[in-house]
Amino acid sequence: MTTSETTFAATAAGLVTPVLHWYDEHARDLPWRRPDASAWSVLVSEFMLQQTPVARVLPIHDAWLRQWPTPAALAAEAAGEAVRAWGRLGYPRRALRLHAAAAAITDQHAGRVPSAYDDLRALPGVGDYTAAAVAAFAYGQRQVVLDTNVRRVLARAVAGVEFPARSVTRAERDLGATLLPEDPPTAATWSVAVMELGALVCTADRPRCDGCPVRRLCAWQAAGAPAYDGPPRPAQAYAGTDRQCRGRLLAVLRDAPGAVTRAHLETTWDEPVQRERALGSLVADGLVVATADGRYALP
């Protein structure tokens, strides 16, 4: 083993215990992490947390579980009710996918969220990360869970760079596997612990390095915290975009008891070309349906 490989291995091995101890003291009390949380609660949270902060998810997750405590309860509803309940979480296609996943769980798994990674991965809207997260967090399995927070922690602590590559690399997967404790429940706790560290301490902007339990092992700190010098990171513009226009149109439909007229929708956005483009995309995505009499409604 080369000197660099030895250093890398020692750094990786030293991360686990202090992060687990830190998590024991600093973990947030989130409903989908509690011992009595159902696998359905975990799956719902993973859909909702994609590109959405925890603070915005908490009230919607709570209301969702009260309205639909099981996949079968959601599957029995029209897909439009899922879109309505999604509220202002953003990226509402996630609501349609979660509804489709609930239907698949009901039809193919007797209403129980499956525990096997491959079965989870086959559900509508479930990718590699979500399948691994549900298997780990709901069922205590030993899975490599790589979300944005985890990838950022590992990029800094082990690779010595401020931010990871845009897409998950083979090297990241290998590192994630190397770090996993052998005991499955401990591995599952490690996966959520390093995620929490990225969310609360090793944040994208203004990381709290003074409070980091692995600062002395961090390759990025040892290198002087060099600034990111990779490809430009995409900015998340919103104001004036088609996404904002789509959100305005959906808000009207969510609040309406039934179908609304085109004239009603036209009051929500002044620019007609963009408004028609956004409305057309909502229909194409299945988030909105046109009725026979020329009105619009949730599906």
- Residues of the chain falling short of pLDDT 70: 1-13, 233-236
Q: Which two tokens stand for residue 46?
A: 């993973």
pLDDT of residue 125: 95
Instruction: Give the residue numbers marked as catalytic.
Output: 46
Q: Which CATH number is associated with domain 31-139?
A: 1.10.340.30
CA distance 224 to 3: 21
Neighbour count for residue 167 (Cβ, 10 Å): 7
Q: What is the DSSP letter of 155?
A: I
> Coil, helix or strand for 285?
coil
Domain 3-28+144-222 has CATH 4.10.520.10: no
The residue with tokens 């989908």 is: 32
Contacts 24+ apart (CB under 8 A), 13-17: 14/214, 14/217, 15/157, 15/158, 15/179, 15/194, 15/214, 15/217, 16/179, 16/181, 16/190
Looking at residue 235, what is its pLDDT? 65
Measured between alpha carbons, how far is 95 from 47 in angstroms, rounded to an integer?
8
Q: What is the pLDDT of residue 3?
A: 41
Task: Report the amino acid identity of residue 37.
Answer: A
Q: How far apart are CA 23 and CA 42, in angstroms?
A: 19
Tokens of 281: 């995309």
What integer pLDDT is reported at residue 7 of this predicted model?
Answer: 47
| Residue 227 DSSP class | P
Q: Which residues pair with 296 in a beta bridge?
A: 260, 290
Measured distance CA(133)–CA(111) in Å, rounded: 19
- Name the amino acid, one letter, at 114: P
In degrees, to the nearest 5, what angle opens at C-alpha 60 toward C-alphas 57 and 64? Answer: 130
Residue 258 confidence (pLDDT): 87
The span from the CA of 66 to the CA of 69, in Å, is 6
- What pLDDT, on a 0 to 100 scale, did the predictor assign at position 11? 56
Residue 235 φ/ψ, nearest 5 degrees: -85, 145
* Contact indicator for 198, 157 with CB cutoff of 8 Å: no
HSE toward the beta carbon, residue 122, CA cutoff 13 A = 12
Contact 286, 94 (CB under 8 A): no
CB 190 within 8 A of CB 179: yes
Q: What is the pTM of this model?
A: 0.88
Alpha carbon of 281 to those of 45, 250, 271: distances in Å? 26, 12, 16
Q: What is the pLDDT of residue 2?
A: 43
